[in-house]
Structure 1
Amino acid sequence: MAGTSSSIVAGLTAAAVGAIGLLAYQASATVPAGPGKAPASASPLAKVPRDRRNPLALPAMSGSGERVVYAMDDDRVWLVSDHNRVLRTFGVRPGSVDPLPGAYVVTSRSNAVTGTDGTPIEHVVRFTSVDGVTIGFSAAVDQNAAQVPDPMVRTGGIRETRADGEAMWMFATIGVPVIVMR
Protein backbone atom coordinates (compact mmCIF):
# COMPACT_ATOMS: atom_id res chain seq x y z
CA MET A 1 0.00 0.00 0.00
CA ALA A 2 2.87 2.40 0.82
CA GLY A 3 4.36 1.79 -2.65
CA THR A 4 1.03 2.60 -4.31
CA SER A 5 0.68 5.85 -2.36
CA SER A 6 4.20 6.88 -3.34
CA SER A 7 3.44 6.18 -7.01
CA ILE A 8 0.25 8.24 -6.88
CA VAL A 9 2.03 11.17 -5.20
CA ALA A 10 4.88 10.98 -7.72
CA GLY A 11 2.41 10.91 -10.62
CA LEU A 12 0.42 13.86 -9.28
CA THR A 13 3.64 15.81 -8.66
CA ALA A 14 4.84 15.15 -12.22
CA ALA A 15 1.47 16.22 -13.64
CA ALA A 16 1.48 19.42 -11.55
CA VAL A 17 5.04 20.31 -12.61
CA GLY A 18 4.12 19.72 -16.25
CA ALA A 19 1.00 21.89 -15.97
CA ILE A 20 2.98 24.70 -14.32
CA GLY A 21 5.60 24.50 -17.07
CA LEU A 22 2.91 24.75 -19.75
CA LEU A 23 1.25 27.74 -18.05
CA ALA A 24 4.61 29.48 -17.61
CA TYR A 25 5.38 29.00 -21.30
CA GLN A 26 1.97 30.38 -22.33
CA ALA A 27 2.35 33.37 -20.03
CA SER A 28 5.85 34.19 -21.29
CA ALA A 29 4.59 34.21 -24.87
CA THR A 30 2.22 37.09 -24.09
CA VAL A 31 4.51 39.30 -21.99
CA PRO A 32 6.06 42.34 -23.72
CA ALA A 33 9.81 42.08 -24.33
CA GLY A 34 10.30 44.70 -21.60
CA PRO A 35 9.97 48.44 -21.21
CA GLY A 36 10.83 50.16 -24.43
CA LYS A 37 10.40 47.08 -26.58
CA ALA A 38 7.49 45.98 -28.71
CA PRO A 39 6.14 42.54 -27.89
CA ALA A 40 7.73 39.79 -29.97
CA SER A 41 4.41 39.26 -31.75
CA ALA A 42 4.22 42.90 -32.87
CA SER A 43 4.77 43.18 -36.57
CA PRO A 44 5.17 46.53 -38.25
CA LEU A 45 1.86 47.78 -39.56
CA ALA A 46 2.00 49.14 -43.07
CA LYS A 47 0.17 52.32 -43.87
CA VAL A 48 -3.42 51.28 -44.12
CA PRO A 49 -6.00 53.03 -46.26
CA ARG A 50 -8.17 55.54 -44.47
CA ASP A 51 -11.86 56.18 -44.99
CA ARG A 52 -11.74 59.17 -47.36
CA ARG A 53 -15.36 60.08 -46.57
CA ASN A 54 -14.65 60.11 -42.83
CA PRO A 55 -11.01 60.96 -42.07
CA LEU A 56 -11.71 60.74 -38.32
CA ALA A 57 -12.81 57.10 -38.60
CA LEU A 58 -10.80 54.49 -36.74
CA PRO A 59 -8.17 53.05 -39.13
CA ALA A 60 -8.81 49.57 -40.48
CA MET A 61 -6.60 46.79 -39.12
CA SER A 62 -6.00 48.60 -35.81
CA GLY A 63 -6.86 45.52 -33.77
CA SER A 64 -9.79 44.73 -31.54
CA GLY A 65 -10.76 45.22 -27.94
CA GLU A 66 -9.73 47.99 -25.58
CA ARG A 67 -6.77 49.93 -26.97
CA VAL A 68 -5.19 53.27 -27.83
CA VAL A 69 -4.59 53.67 -31.56
CA TYR A 70 -1.99 56.22 -32.69
CA ALA A 71 -1.75 57.02 -36.41
CA MET A 72 1.57 58.82 -36.89
CA ASP A 73 0.89 60.06 -40.43
CA ASP A 74 -2.40 61.59 -39.31
CA ASP A 75 -1.15 62.87 -35.92
CA ARG A 76 -4.33 61.39 -34.44
CA VAL A 77 -5.26 59.16 -31.51
CA TRP A 78 -8.35 57.02 -30.89
CA LEU A 79 -9.38 55.65 -27.50
CA VAL A 80 -11.28 52.43 -28.23
CA SER A 81 -13.49 50.49 -25.79
CA ASP A 82 -13.36 46.75 -25.29
CA HIS A 83 -16.45 46.59 -27.57
CA ASN A 84 -14.51 48.31 -30.42
CA ARG A 85 -16.42 51.57 -29.98
CA VAL A 86 -14.44 54.80 -30.39
CA LEU A 87 -14.83 56.69 -27.12
CA ARG A 88 -12.77 59.70 -28.22
CA THR A 89 -10.49 60.78 -31.03
CA PHE A 90 -8.21 63.80 -31.09
CA GLY A 91 -5.25 65.35 -32.84
CA VAL A 92 -1.77 65.33 -31.30
CA ARG A 93 1.59 66.98 -31.89
CA PRO A 94 4.41 64.41 -31.95
CA GLY A 95 7.93 64.91 -30.65
CA SER A 96 11.03 64.61 -32.78
CA VAL A 97 11.43 60.84 -32.21
CA ASP A 98 8.73 58.48 -33.47
CA PRO A 99 8.01 54.98 -32.19
CA LEU A 100 8.18 52.09 -34.62
CA PRO A 101 4.81 50.89 -35.91
CA GLY A 102 3.62 47.93 -33.86
CA ALA A 103 1.75 46.80 -30.76
CA TYR A 104 2.82 47.99 -27.30
CA VAL A 105 1.31 48.31 -23.83
CA VAL A 106 1.29 51.20 -21.38
CA THR A 107 4.35 50.60 -19.19
CA SER A 108 4.36 53.61 -16.85
CA ARG A 109 2.50 56.78 -15.99
CA SER A 110 3.27 60.05 -14.17
CA ASN A 111 0.77 62.63 -13.04
CA ALA A 112 3.14 65.59 -13.48
CA VAL A 113 6.80 65.89 -14.55
CA THR A 114 9.05 68.09 -16.67
CA GLY A 115 9.39 66.95 -20.29
CA THR A 116 12.76 66.44 -21.98
CA ASP A 117 12.22 69.81 -23.66
CA GLY A 118 11.88 71.54 -20.26
CA THR A 119 8.10 71.96 -20.50
CA PRO A 120 6.04 71.12 -17.40
CA ILE A 121 3.68 68.31 -18.48
CA GLU A 122 0.91 66.27 -16.92
CA HIS A 123 -0.96 63.01 -17.45
CA VAL A 124 2.08 61.25 -18.92
CA VAL A 125 1.32 57.80 -20.38
CA ARG A 126 4.48 56.00 -21.58
CA PHE A 127 4.59 52.94 -23.82
CA THR A 128 8.08 52.53 -25.34
CA SER A 129 11.47 54.09 -25.93
CA VAL A 130 13.63 54.53 -29.02
CA ASP A 131 17.40 54.86 -28.69
CA GLY A 132 17.06 55.99 -25.08
CA VAL A 133 14.24 58.47 -25.77
CA THR A 134 11.03 57.67 -23.88
CA ILE A 135 7.88 57.75 -26.01
CA GLY A 136 4.51 58.59 -24.51
CA PHE A 137 1.47 60.84 -24.50
CA SER A 138 1.35 64.00 -22.38
CA ALA A 139 -0.21 67.44 -22.09
CA ALA A 140 1.64 70.71 -21.48
CA VAL A 141 0.42 72.33 -18.27
CA ASP A 142 0.56 75.81 -19.86
CA GLN A 143 -1.29 75.40 -23.14
CA ASN A 144 -0.59 79.05 -24.03
CA ALA A 145 3.21 78.83 -23.73
CA ALA A 146 5.13 79.04 -26.97
CA GLN A 147 5.64 75.42 -27.94
CA VAL A 148 8.10 75.59 -30.78
CA PRO A 149 10.19 72.42 -30.52
CA ASP A 150 13.93 72.86 -30.32
CA PRO A 151 15.33 70.82 -33.24
CA MET A 152 18.43 70.02 -31.17
CA VAL A 153 16.42 68.28 -28.41
CA ARG A 154 15.30 64.69 -29.04
CA THR A 155 11.83 64.31 -27.56
CA GLY A 156 9.36 61.45 -27.58
CA GLY A 157 6.45 63.35 -26.07
CA ILE A 158 3.28 63.08 -28.12
CA ARG A 159 1.50 66.22 -26.94
CA GLU A 160 -2.24 66.52 -26.55
CA THR A 161 -4.51 69.22 -25.10
CA ARG A 162 -5.13 69.15 -21.37
CA ALA A 163 -8.69 67.86 -21.88
CA ASP A 164 -7.48 65.10 -24.21
CA GLY A 165 -4.61 64.36 -21.81
CA GLU A 166 -7.06 63.87 -18.97
CA ALA A 167 -9.16 61.52 -21.12
CA MET A 168 -6.02 59.56 -22.02
CA TRP A 169 -5.00 59.43 -18.34
CA MET A 170 -8.38 58.02 -17.30
CA PHE A 171 -8.39 55.47 -20.13
CA ALA A 172 -4.80 54.26 -20.61
CA THR A 173 -3.81 52.51 -17.40
CA ILE A 174 -0.81 50.19 -17.06
CA GLY A 175 -1.10 47.27 -19.50
CA VAL A 176 -3.61 48.85 -21.91
CA PRO A 177 -2.55 48.09 -25.51
CA VAL A 178 -1.19 50.92 -27.68
CA ILE A 179 -1.28 50.27 -31.43
CA VAL A 180 1.06 52.50 -33.45
CA MET A 181 0.49 52.71 -37.20
CA ARG A 182 1.60 54.89 -40.08
Structure 2
Amino acid sequence: MAYGVVLLPDARTARALTELSHAIGHGARPLNQLGDHAPPHVSVLHFDVPGERDAEIAEHVSRNPVKLTVKVIGLLYVPVPEGDYYVPTGGIYFGVEVVRRPDLDALHREYLEFGAARGMAPLGAVGADYRPHITLGVAGVQPALPPLDMMPLGELSMTLASGPIGPFGTFPTLGADGAGHRSDA
Protein backbone atom coordinates (compact mmCIF):
# COMPACT_ATOMS: atom_id res chain seq x y z
CA MET A 1 0.00 0.00 0.00
CA ALA A 2 1.26 3.49 -0.84
CA TYR A 3 1.14 5.74 2.22
CA GLY A 4 2.62 9.16 2.86
CA VAL A 5 3.68 11.70 5.43
CA VAL A 6 2.91 15.26 4.36
CA LEU A 7 2.74 18.85 5.55
CA LEU A 8 -0.66 20.53 5.17
CA PRO A 9 -1.36 24.26 5.06
CA ASP A 10 -4.12 25.95 7.04
CA ALA A 11 -7.63 26.02 5.51
CA ARG A 12 -7.34 29.57 4.12
CA THR A 13 -4.04 28.80 2.36
CA ALA A 14 -5.45 25.48 1.11
CA ARG A 15 -8.38 27.33 -0.51
CA ALA A 16 -6.05 29.87 -2.12
CA LEU A 17 -3.80 27.11 -3.51
CA THR A 18 -6.84 25.23 -4.82
CA GLU A 19 -8.03 28.38 -6.61
CA LEU A 20 -4.54 28.80 -8.10
CA SER A 21 -4.61 25.17 -9.26
CA HIS A 22 -7.88 25.72 -11.09
CA ALA A 23 -6.76 29.02 -12.60
CA ILE A 24 -3.69 27.31 -14.08
CA GLY A 25 -5.47 24.13 -15.18
CA HIS A 26 -8.47 25.87 -16.77
CA GLY A 27 -8.50 25.13 -20.48
CA ALA A 28 -5.42 22.89 -20.32
CA ARG A 29 -7.24 19.55 -20.23
CA PRO A 30 -6.48 18.97 -16.55
CA LEU A 31 -5.80 15.37 -15.58
CA ASN A 32 -5.72 16.28 -11.90
CA GLN A 33 -6.13 19.45 -9.86
CA LEU A 34 -6.41 20.30 -6.19
CA GLY A 35 -9.81 19.72 -4.57
CA ASP A 36 -11.61 17.47 -2.08
CA HIS A 37 -9.74 14.41 -3.38
CA ALA A 38 -6.41 16.22 -3.56
CA PRO A 39 -5.57 18.66 -0.76
CA PRO A 40 -2.49 20.85 -1.21
CA HIS A 41 0.50 19.44 0.63
CA VAL A 42 4.28 19.22 0.77
CA SER A 43 5.30 15.57 0.80
CA VAL A 44 7.79 14.63 3.48
CA LEU A 45 8.03 11.01 2.29
CA HIS A 46 5.93 8.41 0.47
CA PHE A 47 6.25 4.73 1.43
CA ASP A 48 5.41 1.35 -0.02
CA VAL A 49 3.98 -0.12 3.18
CA PRO A 50 3.79 -3.92 3.52
CA GLY A 51 0.47 -5.33 4.70
CA GLU A 52 -1.56 -3.26 7.13
CA ARG A 53 1.41 -1.46 8.69
CA ASP A 54 0.23 2.04 7.74
CA ALA A 55 -1.15 2.43 11.29
CA GLU A 56 2.47 2.51 12.54
CA ILE A 57 3.12 5.63 10.47
CA ALA A 58 -0.13 7.30 11.51
CA GLU A 59 0.65 6.60 15.17
CA HIS A 60 4.19 7.98 14.84
CA VAL A 61 2.85 11.16 13.19
CA SER A 62 0.23 11.66 15.92
CA ARG A 63 2.80 11.08 18.72
CA ASN A 64 5.34 13.45 17.14
CA PRO A 65 3.49 16.63 16.16
CA VAL A 66 5.33 18.98 13.85
CA LYS A 67 4.62 22.45 12.57
CA LEU A 68 7.02 23.81 9.96
CA THR A 69 7.23 26.95 7.92
CA VAL A 70 8.10 26.44 4.27
CA LYS A 71 9.44 29.19 2.03
CA VAL A 72 7.97 29.55 -1.44
CA ILE A 73 10.39 29.70 -4.39
CA GLY A 74 7.93 29.99 -7.28
CA LEU A 75 6.01 28.11 -9.96
CA LEU A 76 7.42 25.19 -11.92
CA TYR A 77 5.99 23.57 -15.04
CA VAL A 78 7.59 20.26 -16.13
CA PRO A 79 6.70 17.68 -18.78
CA VAL A 80 6.09 14.26 -17.19
CA PRO A 81 6.86 11.27 -19.42
CA GLU A 82 4.33 8.53 -20.02
CA GLY A 83 4.82 5.64 -17.57
CA ASP A 84 5.65 7.86 -14.57
CA TYR A 85 4.71 6.24 -11.22
CA TYR A 86 2.40 9.11 -10.22
CA VAL A 87 1.21 10.13 -13.71
CA PRO A 88 1.11 6.96 -15.85
CA THR A 89 -0.43 8.79 -18.84
CA GLY A 90 2.20 11.54 -18.79
CA GLY A 91 1.30 15.22 -18.90
CA ILE A 92 2.47 18.63 -17.74
CA TYR A 93 3.12 19.00 -14.00
CA PHE A 94 2.54 22.41 -12.44
CA GLY A 95 3.36 23.22 -8.85
CA VAL A 96 4.81 25.53 -6.24
CA GLU A 97 8.42 24.83 -5.35
CA VAL A 98 9.59 25.36 -1.77
CA VAL A 99 13.07 25.70 -0.28
CA ARG A 100 14.68 22.54 1.09
CA ARG A 101 15.49 24.06 4.47
CA PRO A 102 17.44 22.11 7.14
CA ASP A 103 14.33 21.47 9.30
CA LEU A 104 12.36 20.08 6.35
CA ASP A 105 15.34 18.00 5.22
CA ALA A 106 15.77 16.64 8.77
CA LEU A 107 12.09 15.65 8.86
CA HIS A 108 12.47 13.89 5.49
CA ARG A 109 15.53 11.99 6.76
CA GLU A 110 13.75 11.09 10.03
CA TYR A 111 10.98 9.38 8.05
CA LEU A 112 13.49 7.71 5.71
CA GLU A 113 15.10 6.14 8.80
CA PHE A 114 11.69 5.33 10.32
CA GLY A 115 10.63 3.48 7.15
CA ALA A 116 13.96 1.71 6.66
CA ALA A 117 13.84 0.36 10.23
CA ARG A 118 10.42 -1.16 9.46
CA GLY A 119 11.01 -2.51 5.95
CA MET A 120 8.99 0.26 4.27
CA ALA A 121 10.54 1.19 0.93
CA PRO A 122 10.47 4.88 -0.02
CA LEU A 123 8.66 5.94 -3.18
CA GLY A 124 9.59 8.82 -5.47
CA ALA A 125 12.53 11.20 -5.23
CA VAL A 126 14.21 10.73 -1.83
CA GLY A 127 17.48 11.42 -0.06
CA ALA A 128 19.75 13.62 -2.18
CA ASP A 129 17.00 13.85 -4.82
CA TYR A 130 14.26 15.05 -2.43
CA ARG A 131 12.56 18.11 -3.97
CA PRO A 132 9.89 19.60 -1.72
CA HIS A 133 6.94 21.12 -3.58
CA ILE A 134 3.19 21.55 -3.64
CA THR A 135 1.71 19.84 -6.68
CA LEU A 136 -1.07 22.04 -8.02
CA GLY A 137 -2.01 19.67 -10.81
CA VAL A 138 -1.21 17.87 -14.00
CA ALA A 139 -2.54 18.97 -17.39
CA GLY A 140 -2.90 17.25 -20.74
CA VAL A 141 -1.50 20.27 -22.59
CA GLN A 142 0.76 23.13 -21.57
CA PRO A 143 -1.12 25.41 -19.20
CA ALA A 144 -0.82 29.18 -19.27
CA LEU A 145 0.61 31.27 -16.46
CA PRO A 146 -1.99 32.31 -13.90
CA PRO A 147 -2.52 35.88 -12.75
CA LEU A 148 0.67 36.27 -10.71
CA ASP A 149 -1.16 38.01 -7.87
CA MET A 150 -2.69 34.57 -7.12
CA MET A 151 0.77 33.12 -6.42
CA PRO A 152 1.59 32.66 -2.72
CA LEU A 153 4.62 34.60 -1.57
CA GLY A 154 6.91 34.29 1.42
CA GLU A 155 6.35 31.55 3.94
CA LEU A 156 3.54 29.09 4.60
CA SER A 157 2.83 27.48 7.96
CA MET A 158 2.30 23.73 7.61
CA THR A 159 1.25 20.88 9.94
CA LEU A 160 2.34 17.24 9.71
CA ALA A 161 -0.26 14.68 8.64
CA SER A 162 -0.37 11.24 7.04
CA GLY A 163 -2.65 9.12 4.89
CA PRO A 164 -2.98 6.66 2.02
CA ILE A 165 -1.80 7.90 -1.37
CA GLY A 166 -4.41 8.13 -4.12
CA PRO A 167 -4.10 8.69 -7.87
CA PHE A 168 -1.53 11.30 -8.98
CA GLY A 169 0.08 11.30 -5.50
CA THR A 170 -3.04 12.78 -3.89
CA PHE A 171 -4.29 12.26 -0.34
CA PRO A 172 -8.08 11.83 -0.65
CA THR A 173 -8.62 10.99 3.03
CA LEU A 174 -7.08 14.26 4.19
CA GLY A 175 -9.78 16.44 2.59
CA ALA A 176 -9.46 19.74 0.75
CA ASP A 177 -9.36 21.70 4.00
CA GLY A 178 -6.56 19.52 5.34
CA ALA A 179 -8.53 18.61 8.46
CA GLY A 180 -8.01 14.85 8.50
CA HIS A 181 -5.16 12.78 9.98
CA ARG A 182 -3.18 15.71 11.35
CA SER A 183 -0.67 15.50 14.14
CA ASP A 184 -1.54 17.50 17.24
CA ALA A 185 0.88 20.32 16.37
Q: TM-score, normalised by structure 2?
A: 0.28
Higher relative contact order (CA 8 A, sep 6+): 2
Which structure has the highest helix share of the two? 2
Query: Could you say which structure has the larger radius of gyration?
Result: 1
Q: TM-score, normalised by structure 1?
A: 0.28
